[in-house]
Structure 1
């Protein structure tokens, strides 16, 4: 029996906001490649024929931010004004400065010859996992990501001719009372296209070449529940049609609106910024909890104070799906996982250049070898949980 509906959306790498995320993260990667201890906080804006890059960078690296931005645009497919912006002819402005000394004094420290890192900001970060897909992600966002990935593929390989880089997808599913997904209720795909493309031909091609390879059950949907370019036309797109900003697609980046978000964006930030590193660590913990079989659904929350080495609080929420007392799970998690800023960076290998590929199609549920997607601590959690249960039985026996 259906009790509620869940909707998630994703966007292509050519969406104006995602273009900006990728430029910011490409600059971060370039800094980390030369200086792994770079401090980076870069924001990008793209509008009409102009890209503006601003922020704070403290690094030994020598980079050309303008050249990086143009290369990102070229790789996405923005090589003409008709497409949305021309990588070689647009105006690129930069305003990059060093990190504030007031922040740096709380971040950069050492003790007894060991690196000690204070959080680069205050706030609360969330991680989420659920047993709906093999990647332990909500099914709606995984399907939405799959649609826009496929949309980019058919554009680039020419399977569907006449497409430009900008695009979106949205999936609505019905859920049963126990929280399990039941069926796809509607699908939306918006694909930027060249002038003169026949709308009906495009609709048929996108259903056949994009939607059905990702969501076979969409074949069962009535035509009125499959929306292709709902306004009837999507020629003007990219930064020509909509201003892009770094960090404006935080629900696309995370769990499609299902889990909480602390508010801080990810792209353009080095791992000393807990907005990013703690969100990755929270996902890592939540995913291992579910993979270990301790709960079917889990959300981990971590709160930090700027300049503080360890979090103020770590909270585990299992929404009534836990298989042992939630407080026991919480105690085990704080014992197994090192939530200090330096500990997160070491464990998840966050100082290597890897971030541009996170800046489109979500930061979580990816098949790439991101440290926060591994389930290498699931067995450790499982053994500790069994130990707690066995110890509890022994203690009860002694009391009797």
Structure 2
């Protein structure tokens, strides 16, 4: 493994058009789970100039007319259900901050093309169908990866962790009024120099932020750029920004037209931003818009949880974990642990795999076992849909996959 190198990751703000779509999709997941914890949701969102379009499949008993068994083909929604969905969409856009002529929460055109879940998919996922005793199966086939490293207190790659934090600060200052010249759409990109495997210097920083009228020239441009530089210096560890750091702030010039008005957005197009910024493999499946029976989401969360606890326990400095599943099959087909040669003395990847398999509290890493252990059947997903699903602070029901409550079990298992 190389120890001296440059590495780069990017992040996008909550106002980026793809992230607007992700947050809307997860707002629908939360709405359904709040009404029925066993809801099934696969919600895709498209955003463009003054328009939001939903499509996909759901199953949520309180939301449709149960007297009409053909509801899934003819959209027989329960009274008020369509209005609740539309309200959730408009509320999400409003909270992000879009009140622009090209994308405004109150005046945008909304289309709802959600319909019922396929019975053929349901039969592979549901437990106990037709009187059987089979466990609930995975919602799809696929591979999922989790990762953790000791580069930051959040046990995340530093390039991504700080890229997120820069944009979170810009959003907080925009909403508080501290930086009223900012608009919701923004991107960041951080290049760091590593020595002996540790980040030591920021070699380049890119920040592009949507702004109010005229903040691309003269004194207004200088105000915006000085503000962004100040935020970056506050966020990054002391000494990382040097005279040699290469700055690119709004390098294309004016950025007044942004968000879905400037570029169409789709759910699931920022999967590297959502995970590890390219520092770890990705199985290919997006998270947002999916209920936790979908292993694209739940298995990615449990692998992050396991990798983070391994690093937090001091058993390795860097850890990648993979799980794989087949649709309708409950138990994972494979479990893989790689500590990249950073494991503590006496710890091997094989011993870690064995320890994980032997932990009854993980429920065999089945879809239901994962959901039960992490408590995923709750409306907790909208907040995860911007600034990364990982490296966040676990608090009550929020971000349970970021807990480090498996440390003692892991130490005991491999000690």
TM-score calculated relative to the size of structure 2:
0.89
Which residue in the other structure is 2:247 paired with? 226
- Aligned residue runs from structure 1 range 100-111, under 5 A: 100-110=118-128
Deviation at 1:223, TM superposition (A): 7.4
Which residue in the other structure is 1:237 paired with? 258
Which residue in the other structure is 1:291 paired with? 312
Measured against aligned partners, the alpha-carbon deviations of 1:145-178 in whole angstroms (never above 9, x if no partner) come to 10000010111112122211100111110112x3
Aligned-CA RMSD value: 1.8
Which residue in the other structure is 1:372 paired with? 401
Runs (4+) of structure 1 exceeding 2 A deviation are: 61-64, 110-116, 216-224
SS in structure 2 of the partner of residue 8 of structure 1: strand
Q: Which moved more, 1:47-56 or 1:213-222?
A: 213-222
Measured against aligned partners, the alpha-carbon deviations of 1:93-136 in whole angstroms (never above 9, x if no partner) come to 11011111111001001299988310000000000011111111
SS in structure 1 of the partner of residue 62 of structure 2: coil
Distance across 2 between alignment mates of 1:325 and 1:28: 39
8 Å contact kept, 2:203–2:244: no
Q: Structure 1 residues 313 and 219 mapped into 2: Cα distance closer, same or farther (>3 Å)?
A: closer
8 Å contact kept, 2:15–2:184: yes
SS in structure 2 of the partner of residue 357 of structure 1: helix
Distance across 2 between alignment mates of 1:297 and 1:153: 31
Deviation at 1:292, TM superposition (A): 1.7
Deviation at 1:3, TM superposition (A): 2.1
Q: Structure 1 residues 162 and 35 mapped into 2: Cα distance closer, same or farther (>3 Å)?
A: same
Distance across 2 between alignment mates of 1:220 and 1:7: 15
8 Å contact kept, 1:294–1:329: no
Q: Name which of 153, 178, 184 aligns with 1:159.
A: 178
Deviation at 1:57, TM superposition (A): 0.4
In the alignment of these two chains, the number of paired residues is 382
1:15 aligns with 2:16: yes
Distance across 2 between alignment mates of 1:346 and 1:2: 39
Q: Which moved more, 1:95-104 or 1:212-221?
A: 212-221
Distance across 1 between alignment mates of 2:59 and 2:241: 54
Distance across 2 between alignment mates of 1:275 and 1:24: 15
Deviation at 1:214, TM superposition (A): 0.8
Structure 1 unaligned residues grouped into runs of 5+: 387-400
Q: Structure 1 residues 240 and 41 mapped into 2: Cα distance closer, same or farther (>3 Å)?
A: same
Deviation at 1:2, TM superposition (A): 7.1
Which residue in the other structure is 2:147 paired with? 128
1:179 aligns with 2:197: yes
8 Å contact kept, 1:115–1:342: no
Structure 2 unaligned residues grouped into runs of 5+: 64-80
TM-score calculated relative to the size of structure 1:
0.92
8 Å contact kept, 2:139–2:295: yes
Distance across 2 between alignment mates of 1:32 and 1:244: 24
8 Å contact kept, 2:149–2:317: yes
Q: Name which of 260, 280, 283 aligns with 2:301.
A: 280
1:310 aligns with 2:328: no
Q: Structure 1 residues 116 and 166 mapped into 2: Cα distance closer, same or farther (>3 Å)?
A: same
Q: Structure 1 residues 78 and 189 mapped into 2: Cα distance closer, same or farther (>3 Å)?
A: same
Which residue in the other structure is 1:140 paired with? 159
Measured against aligned partners, the alpha-carbon deviations of 1:256-313 in whole angstroms (never above 9, x if no partner) come to 1101110000001001100000000110111111112221110010000000011100
1:68 aligns with 2:97: no
- Aligned residue runs from structure 1 range 24-39, under 5 A: 24-39=25-40
Deviation at 1:224, TM superposition (A): 6.4
Q: Name which of 334, 355, 360 aligns with 1:332.
A: 355
